[in-house]
Amino acid sequence: MQIYNTLTKSKQTFKPLEEGKVKMYVCGPTVYNLIHIGNARPMMVFDTVRRYMEYKGYEVNYVSNFTDVDDKIIKAANEEGVDPSVISERYIEECKKDMASLNVKPATTHPKATEEIDGMLEMIQTLIEKGYAYVAKDGTVYYSTRKFKDYGKLSHKNLDDLQGGMRSLLVSGEDQKEDPLDFVLWKPKKEGEPFWVSPWCEGRPGWHIECSVMSRKYLGEEIDIHRTE
C-alpha cells in the first residue's frame, strides 16, 4: 500500500511506526453551528482510510477532536444569551448525528479542547522554557516561528516568502509580536468570555496548541497519519 507523503511530495510504501498498528489524528470541527460539506469531507475520507486499514488487518487508533472553545462559539453564545458550553455541546451532538447519517464510524477517541487545558498549559510552559515561545506584556503567549529552523518544511514554504504577504501589524492589532508570522498559543480573556487561569494571564488557548496536545496525549510523540487544517 502506498500513501502520498506531503513532506516528500511523493507516494511511499506505508510502513507504520509499530507493526500491525496505525496511529492517526484528524483535526475535527469547531462546533459553533451545524457541520458543512468542508467538515464532512475529511470525516468521510479518513473514515474510508480507517476502514481500509482495518480491512488490511491493522489495529487503528483514530483520534479526532472537537474544538469547543473559539471566537465563533463565543459569538454564537452571546447572540443567544447562553453559556458557550451550551452552543458547543449542542453542535457536538448534532455533529455526531450527521456523522451517523453519513455512515461515518466514531473515532476511537473524540477529545474536547476544553478538557485538555492542563496539557496545553504544560506544553506552552515547556515551549517558553526552551525558547520557542515568549510572553507579551498583556500575557499573550506567542510561538516564535523563526526559532524553529524547519518551520514551513512540511508545506514547502519558507518564512521570507510568507513574510511578504502579511498585513501590517498595526492594522491587525498584533504589534506586540516579535515577528509577523508568530502565532498565538495563549490569549487573554475579554469581558464575558470563558477563561482558565494560567501563569501568564486569565485566558484561553489558541487553536494551534490544541491538536498538538491532544495528539500527543492519545497517540504519543510520533504518529503515522496526520491531517490538520
Number of domains in the chain: 2
Higher pLDDT, 123 or 227: 123
Which residue segment(s) compose the domain that 202 sits in?
117-206
Q: Do 184 and 110 belong to one domain?
A: no
The CATH number of residue 94's host domain is 3.40.50.620
Instruction: Give the model confidence (pLDDT) of 69-123 as tens digits.
Output: 999 999 999 999 999 999 999 999 999 999 999 999 999 999 999 999 999 999 9
Q: Do 72 and 167 belong to one domain?
A: no
Q: What is the pTM of this model?
A: 0.88
Q: Do 216 and 111 belong to one domain?
A: yes
Q: Do 34 and 147 belong to one domain?
A: no
What is the C-alpha separation between 69 and 176, in angstroms, rounded? 24
Q: Do 109 and 218 belong to one domain?
A: yes
Higher pLDDT, 173 or 182: 182
Q: Do 87 and 139 belong to one domain?
A: no
Q: Do 122 and 195 belong to one domain?
A: yes
Residue 14 has pLDDT above 80, yes or no: yes
What is the C-alpha separation between 26 and 94, in angstroms, rounded? 19
Instruction: Give the model confidence (pLDDT) of 45-76 as tens digits.
Output: 999 999 999 999 999 999 999 999 999 999 99
pLDDT number for residue 156: 81
Helix (H), strand (E) at residue 11: strand 10-13
**Contacts of the segment 149-158: beta carbons below 8 A, 24+ positions apart:** 153/7, 154/6, 154/7, 155/6, 156/9
Q: Do 57 and 137 belong to one domain?
A: no
